[in-house]
Structure 1
Amino acid sequence: MTSFTDKANLIWDIADLLRGDYKQSDYGKIILPMTVLRRLDCVLQPTKSKVLEYLPKVEKLSDSAKDLTLNKRAGFNFHNRSLFDFAKLTADPNNIAANLRNFINGFSAGAREIIEYFDFDKQIERMDDPKADILFQVVKRFAAIDLSGMDSMEMGYVFEDLIRRFAEQSNETAGEHFTPREVIKLMVNVLFNADNKSLTKAGIVKTLYDPACGTGGMLSVGEIHLKEFNPRSRLEVFGQEINPESYAICKSDMLIKGQNPANIKFGNTFTVDGLAGEKFDYMLSNPPFGVDWKKASKIIKDENKKLGYAGRFGAGLPRINDGSLLFLQHMISKMKPDSSRIGIVFNGSPLFTGQAGGGESDIRLWIVQNDWLEAIIALPDQLFYNTGISTYIWILNNNKARERKGKIQLINAAGTKDEQLVAAGKLGFNRFWEKMIRSLGNKRKKIIENGEDRGIGFITKLYGDFSENEFVKIFPNEFFCYHRVVVEQPLIMDNGELIMDNKGRVKPDPKLRDYENIPFLKKDKNGKLVPQAIDEYFNREVKPHLPDSWIDETKTKTGCEINFTKYFYEFKPLRSLAEIRADILKLEQNTLLMENGEWRMGNF
C-alpha cells in the first residue's frame, strides 16, 4: 500500500469520532480543514522556533512587514507566530478551543485567509460543545499523523482521496469528479511535447492556467513535469475554483510550494473572471461533465450578445444543461496571440451534440475553421472516481507546426481492440491501460505510467510521430464540416396536379420535408479526400430516389461534428450459419450428457 493511501486511511478513520454528532455528508467540514492545518503545522515545524525567537524584533513593524520578515525566517511564503503547535495543543485539553483559535490566528494573513474559506470556527464551537465534546479527541488524533515527509503530489492524492470518499457519502453526481494523476501526466506530456526544445533554455519562465482547478492537481503535475525536464525553468501557475474547500486546499498547496497564492482566485469562472485580461502559455482543465449553467445564464447570455467575439462566448452558447464548451471558449480567450496550447478533458457530448446552426456545432465550427484543434485522444472508460463514462482529451494550439496545419489528429487510446485480443489470447497485455487491483469508486482502470511502448509513453509517442496507423487517423479540418440542407418535395392535389404559390412557384409539402447532411469532402476513385459541391452530392445521392425534390437554399446551414468511434470502426463479419449450427448441436449434446449424469469437466 502506498504512503498516501496509508495517510488517507488514518485520516479517514478519525471521521469515526464524528459519528452520531455529524451527518456523514458533513464529515468533510471537519476533516479537510484539520488536514490542511496539520499539513501546514508539519511543514513549518523545523523553523517554528526561529520564527518565535525573532518575534520580539518585529513588534514595531506593520502587519505586512511582519509577515514578510517572519516568512523569510520560516522559509516559506507563510508562517505561524502562535506559541502553539499540534503537540502543545494536546498538552492542554481543558482549553483546546481557545488554544486552537490562537493557533489559527497565528498564521500570516495569506494562510489565515485560506482557513477562513472552510468556515471552520463554527465547527470548533460545535465540537467543543459539552454535548459533543470531541474537539480534543479530533486534535489529538491528527497530532499523531505525521504529514511532513510527503511531497506535493502525495498530499494531493490524500486530499483527492478524502474528497472522493466524502463525495460518495453525500451521493454527489458524476459531474463532481477529480482527475486521476496518470490522466494529468498524460495531458501534461502531450501539452509540453511540441515545445521540448524551447523548454530546455536556462531560466525560462512559462505560465499554466486551470479555470476549474479544484485542489490544484493539474497545476501541481504541470510544475513537477517541467522541473524534471528542466530544473532551471519556472512554471508560474494560475487558477480559479468555485468550491471553497477545494479552493482552500489548492491555495495551501501553492503556499507550501512557494507559488504565489494570489494567482488562485475564488468564484464562478463564468460570472466573474478572476484573471480577466491575463493570457497564458499553457492551459489544462477537467471541467465538470454535464453541469448546467442556468445560474450563470444571464451574465453569459449578456456577454455573448453585447461583446460577441470581443468577449469570451462569441462563437455560441451550448445547451443549458452542459457548459463544457463554455469552459473551452473561456480558455481560448486567454490564448496568447503568438502561441498557446490547451488540454481539456471532455465526455463524448461536445464531439457531436447539436445540429448545424446550433450552439455546440457553431462552437466546433469556429474552432475547426480557425485551425486551433490539433488532436483528440480517446481514453478508456472507468478511469474516473465518480463516473465510468468514456472521456476524451482535446488538444488545441493556435500556432500549429507546419505539418499539422489544416489537420486534426485522432488517437484511439481506449484500448478496446487490445482488450478483445487479450481476451482471445492473441495479445499478452493491453498497450494502454491495466486493471486496478482495488477499485476506487467507479475507477477500475489505470493508464499505464511506465514504458515507452505502453500507456502514457506510447500515447505521447503516437501524438508526437503524427503518422497514421491502427491507433491514429489524420484528417483535414474540412472532413468534419458539413452542409445541412432542407430537401423539399412538391405539394400535390388529389388529382395529381401541383399546388403553386402566388408567385407561380411549386409549393413544398411540409409532411414530406426532409434534411440531409452533406459533407464538405468526398473520396475520389483513388480514395483521396477532395471537395464536394452541394449540387453534386444532391444529384448523386438524392435525385435518383426523389426526382421531383429540390433544396431550399435559404435554409442551408453549416455544421461540424466529430463522430470519433465511427472513424475507428472495424467491420466484423457475422458468423456463418454452419458455425452457429455446430455450437448449438454441441450445447444440445452436453445438455443430454448432463441429464444422463455423464457430463464431465471439460465437455464445454
Structure 2
Amino acid sequence: MASSLNYSQFIWNVADVLRGTYKQHQYGDIILPFTVLYRLDAVLEPTKDAVLTAISGYDADAEVPLAMLRSRAKHEYSFYNSSKHTLSSIKGDADTLEQNLRSYINSFSPNVRDIFEKYKFEDTIAELAEHDLLFQVVQHYSKINLHPDNVSNEEMGNIFEELIRKFAEASNETAGEHFTPREVIELMVTLLLTDEEDLMRPNITRDVYDPTAGTGGMLSVADEKIKKFNDTAQVNLLGQEINPASYAICKADMVVKGQAIENIALGNTLTNPAFENRTFHYGLSNPPFGVDWKGAKATVEAEHKIAGFTGRFGAGLPRVSDGSLLFLQHLISKLREPSSGAKQGVADTGGRGAIVLNGSPLFTGGAGSGESNIRKWVLDNDYLEAIIGLPTDMFYNTGISTYIWMLNKSKKVERRNKVQLIDATEMFEKMRKSVGSKRKRLSEDHIKEIAQLFKAFESADDKRSKVFAREEFMYRTITVERPLRQNFAFTQERVEILLASRDLAKLKLDDTVASALRAALEQRVVEAGGVVETDRLEFEKQLREVFDSAGAIVKPAALKKLADELSARDETADPVVKAGKPVADSTLRDTENVPWDEDIHEYLEREVKPFVPDAWIDESKTKEGAEIPFTRHFYEYVPPRSLEEIDRDLNEVLGRIRERLEGLGK
C-alpha cells in the first residue's frame, strides 16, 4: 500500500493540470475540496444502495432523519448523499459532467453541503469547465482509491494535513492567518500531555477543543499524539473558526478523519460561542495577534457586565486594540473543572490548555487596568502553570516574539501556587528557505529538550528554566501624596491672573462692581508692597475685605478658589490643612509599585520618607496589579569592554590600514 505521503504527492500533482490557468496559491482551493469529495464518495459507497432505497419516499430537498438511515440502511455516518450518481458514474459522461457533478454536490446532507458552499465549490466547477479542465481533474482523482478499506481514517488525516501544509506554503503571504507551524503545535501538545497520569487508562475518552481552529492543525496533532500514547483512546475533536475558507478546510479534515461532523462550528467565538454547555479535557488556541475586537465590543461588554464571573469575561476586559486576553479567558472557561464527570469511582482531572500569545498580554496595562486584572485573576486561581518564550521568526505572518501559556486546572501538588518560565528563545534551527516571515523552526530535539525542562520543574538545573511563586508577579500600586504648601500675596502679576480667571467670571459682576474690584485690588497691591502671607485663613480674611469694599458679593467656597488664584507653591510654608488633615498637592503626587509580600507602610518608610519626610499613602487609591516581565527574568548583564581593550583593537585596525596604504604606495 502506498504511503500517505505518496498519496498526497500524487493528489497534489493535479497542479500540473492547473498550471498556467491558475496561480500557485489557488491550487489548494481546488485540490482540497476535490480530495474531500472523493473521500466522502468512497466512505458512502458501501451503504449507497441501501440509503437510496431508504430515502425513496422523501422529497429531493427534504432532510432525511439519520436515525432512520442507521436502522434501515445500516448507515453509520452523520451525513449522506441522496444522488443516484457516484463519482465513478459521473465520470463516464464528459458531456454532462459539470451538470451531474453540481447535482451530486447538492445531494449531500446539509451538514456536508455546508463544506462545499464555504469552499464556493460550484464556482470552482464552473471555472474548471470553462477552461476545459474539469474532466482532466476528475480523471486524475479517479486513479486513486480512497476507500476506508484502502486508506484508514488516520492515513487519510495525514494525507489531508500534508495537502493543507502544501497549500499553506504555496500561499505563504497569508498562511499565518490560519496555519500554525507544525512544530509549534507539536510542542504545545507534547507539553499538554506531559505527566497526564490518566492518559494510559484503557478506552479513555478525551475531548480536545480549539476556539480558533483555523484549518484544524492543532486538533489533528492532538489526535495523533494522544493515540500514540494510548491506541485505545477515543479522541473527540471540536473547534470553531470565523473564516469560512479555513472553516471548510478544518471541517473537511475532521470529516475525512471520521470525526463527528457537527464538532466543527463556523462563527465568532467571542460573540457566538459554540458548545456553550461543554467543557473539555484539553484546549489549544493560536488566536490572532494584536487584532482589535471592536466588532464584538457590544456583546463582550454586555457579557462582562451582566454575567460577571458566571460568564467568560468576569475578570476584566483588555483594551479594544487587542483581544488576546479575551481568548485566554474564553479558553480557561472551556477547560473542565477537577473531578467533573467522575465515573466508576475514577475522578477526571481538570482540563489543561495551551495558547500562543504575543508579548503584550504579559505586561500591557498597569494596576487596575483590564489586562492587569485578567492576569491577576489567572494567578489568583492558580490556572497558569508555565510560559515558554519561543524564538522570533517562527510564524508565517509575523517575526515578533511569541509565548506559549500553559494552563492547568488541577496542578500537581508541587506545582501549586507556582509558575514556571522557560526561555526557549535560542532553541531553533535556521530554515534553508524562509516561508513568509518564518525563518526558524524547532527541531525534534528542541521539543524534547523543552519538554524535559517543563517536566523537571524545580529540579531543572538550567538557567533557561526558572520557577516563581505566583505572588512574585503581583504587586500593589500605591499613591504617594505630599502636602500642599502655599503662600499668598497681592502682586500685580497674581492680581491679573485673578481678574482673568473663570472663577471670577462665574460671579457675573456688573461693570460698575468689576471696575471697583479692579481698583480695590490694585490699591491693595500698593499697600501690601509684595509681602507674602503663609496663613491661608488670614489671607482669605484680607481678600474678603477687598471684595466687600468693592461691593462684590462672594460666597465662602468661591472665596477659597479666588484665593488660590493669588497663591504660589512654597516649600517653606506650612501645609494647607482641611478638617484637621493636610491637603494633597496634586502636582507632587507620585505612584510606587510595591511587591505583593511587602507591607506598603514599611515600604514607604524605607523607600520614600528618607527623601520626602512629609509623604503619606492615600490608601483609597491603592490598586492591585499583576504583570509577568518574562524577558527581565532571563536578562544577563554583560559589562562593556574596558577602554584599554577598545583602544588596543582600534590601534590594531589602524595599524593594518597603514600597512595596506604603505603597500599601495610602493
| TM, length-normalised to structure 1 | 0.83
- On the 8 A contact 1:209/1:239 being kept in 2, the answer is yes
Post-superposition Cα deviations, 1:201-257, rounded to whole Å, max 9, x if no partner, equal 111111111111111111111111111111111111211111111111111122121
- Structure-2 residue corresponding to 1:396: 407
What secondary structure does 1:240 align onto? strand
Q: Does 2:266 match 1:266?
A: yes
Once the two structures are TM-superposed, the CA of residue 70 in structure 1 deviates from its matched residue by: 9.8
1:391-470 to structure 2, matched below 5 A, reads 391-415=402-426, 432-449=427-444, 454-467=445-458, 468=460, 469-470=462-463
Once the two structures are TM-superposed, the CA of residue 96 in structure 1 deviates from its matched residue by: 3.6
Q: Does 2:504 match 1:506?
A: no
Q: Does 2:640 match 1:574?
A: yes
Which of residues 344, 360, 380 is equivalent to 1:349? 360
Once the two structures are TM-superposed, the CA of residue 359 in structure 1 deviates from its matched residue by: 0.5
1:169-568 to structure 2, matched below 5 A, reads 176-195=177-196, 197-338=197-338, 339-415=350-426, 432-449=427-444, 454-467=445-458, 468=460, 469-493=462-486, 494=568, 495=570, 496-520=572-596, 531-568=597-634
Work out the CA distance in 2 between the residues paired with 1:178 and 1:3: 23
What secondary structure does 1:208 align onto? strand
Once the two structures are TM-superposed, the CA of residue 585 in structure 1 deviates from its matched residue by: 1.1
Once the two structures are TM-superposed, the CA of residue 351 in structure 1 deviates from its matched residue by: 0.6
Work out the CA distance in 2 between the residues paired with 1:166 and 1:267: 24
Change in Cα spacing, 1:365 to 1:173, as seen in structure 2 (3 Å) is: farther
Work out the CA distance in 2 between the residues paired with 1:141 and 1:511: 80
- On the 8 A contact 1:212/1:239 being kept in 2, the answer is yes
Change in Cα spacing, 1:72 to 1:380, as seen in structure 2 (3 Å) is: farther
Once the two structures are TM-superposed, the CA of residue 144 in structure 1 deviates from its matched residue by: 7.8
For 2:606, the aligned partner's letter is R
Larger Rg: 2
Which of residues 164, 169, 185 is equivalent to 1:159? 164
What secondary structure does 1:295 align onto? helix
Work out the CA distance in 1 between the residues paired with 2:7 and 2:639: 48
Once the two structures are TM-superposed, the CA of residue 54 in structure 1 deviates from its matched residue by: 4.6
Once the two structures are TM-superposed, the CA of residue 71 in structure 1 deviates from its matched residue by: 8.5
Change in Cα spacing, 1:230 to 1:318, as seen in structure 2 (3 Å) is: same
Work out the CA distance in 1 between the residues paired with 2:650 and 2:90: 75
Once the two structures are TM-superposed, the CA of residue 95 in structure 1 deviates from its matched residue by: 3.2
Change in Cα spacing, 1:14 to 1:579, as seen in structure 2 (3 Å) is: farther
- On the 8 A contact 1:11/1:31 being kept in 2, the answer is no
Once the two structures are TM-superposed, the CA of residue 547 in structure 1 deviates from its matched residue by: 2.5
Change in Cα spacing, 1:392 to 1:56, as seen in structure 2 (3 Å) is: closer
- On the 8 A contact 2:352/2:407 being kept in 1, the answer is yes
Post-superposition Cα deviations, 1:13-54, rounded to whole Å, max 9, x if no partner, equal 6664445xxxx79x65x8425522234305644874x45555
Count of residues in correspondence between the two structures: 553
Post-superposition Cα deviations, 1:547-583, rounded to whole Å, max 9, x if no partner, equal 2322221111000000001111111121111221111
Once the two structures are TM-superposed, the CA of residue 500 in structure 1 deviates from its matched residue by: 1.5
Work out the CA distance in 1 between the residues paired with 2:52 and 2:380: 64
- Structure-1 residue corresponding to 2:550: none
- Structure-2 residue corresponding to 1:424: none
What secondary structure does 2:65 align onto? helix
Work out the CA distance in 1 between the residues paired with 2:142 and 2:435: 26
Question: In angstroms, what is the RMSD of aligned CA positions?
Answer: 3.1
Post-superposition Cα deviations, 1:304-362, rounded to whole Å, max 9, x if no partner, equal 01111111100000010111111111122223221111111111111111110000000
Post-superposition Cα deviations, 1:47-81, rounded to whole Å, max 9, x if no partner, equal 74x455556643546633575479867x8655556
- Structure-1 residue corresponding to 2:32: 35
Once the two structures are TM-superposed, the CA of residue 6 in structure 1 deviates from its matched residue by: 4.8
Work out the CA distance in 1 between the residues paired with 2:192 and 2:352: 7
Question: Which sections of structure 1, spanning at least 5 residues, go unmatched?
Answer: 416-431, 521-530, 600-604
What secondary structure does 1:571 align onto? coil
Work out the CA distance in 2 between the residues paired with 1:147 and 1:293: 45
Post-superposition Cα deviations, 1:429-474, rounded to whole Å, max 9, x if no partner, equal xxx321122222111111111xxxx311111111111124211111
Change in Cα spacing, 1:316 to 1:269, as seen in structure 2 (3 Å) is: same
- On the 8 A contact 2:398/2:438 being kept in 1, the answer is yes
- On the 8 A contact 1:410/1:472 being kept in 2, the answer is yes
Once the two structures are TM-superposed, the CA of residue 9 in structure 1 deviates from its matched residue by: 6.3
What secondary structure does 1:466 align onto? helix
- On the 8 A contact 1:282/1:340 being kept in 2, the answer is yes
For 1:503, the aligned partner's letter is A
- On the 8 A contact 1:383/1:445 being kept in 2, the answer is yes
For 2:587, the aligned partner's letter is K
Work out the CA distance in 2 between the residues paired with 1:47 and 1:334: 34
Post-superposition Cα deviations, 1:361-404, rounded to whole Å, max 9, x if no partner, equal 00000110111111111111111111111111111112111111
For 1:380, the aligned partner's letter is P
What secondary structure does 1:403 align onto? helix
Change in Cα spacing, 1:230 to 1:509, as seen in structure 2 (3 Å) is: same
For 2:484, the aligned partner's letter is L
- Structure-2 residue corresponding to 1:528: none
Question: Which sections of structure 2, spanning at least 5 residues, go unmatched?
Answer: 59-63, 339-349, 487-567
Post-superposition Cα deviations, 1:392-430, rounded to whole Å, max 9, x if no partner, equal 111111211111111111111112xxxxxxxxxxxxxxx
- Structure-1 residue corresponding to 2:653: 587
Change in Cα spacing, 1:154 to 1:46, as seen in structure 2 (3 Å) is: closer
What secondary structure does 2:578 align onto? coil
Change in Cα spacing, 1:413 to 1:501, as seen in structure 2 (3 Å) is: same
Once the two structures are TM-superposed, the CA of residue 181 in structure 1 deviates from its matched residue by: 1.3
What secondary structure does 1:474 align onto? strand
Larger mean Cα displacement after TM superposition, 328-337 or 554-563: 328-337
| TM, length-normalised to structure 2 | 0.76
Larger mean Cα displacement after TM superposition, 539-548 or 228-237: 539-548
Change in Cα spacing, 1:39 to 1:501, as seen in structure 2 (3 Å) is: same
Once the two structures are TM-superposed, the CA of residue 503 in structure 1 deviates from its matched residue by: 2.3
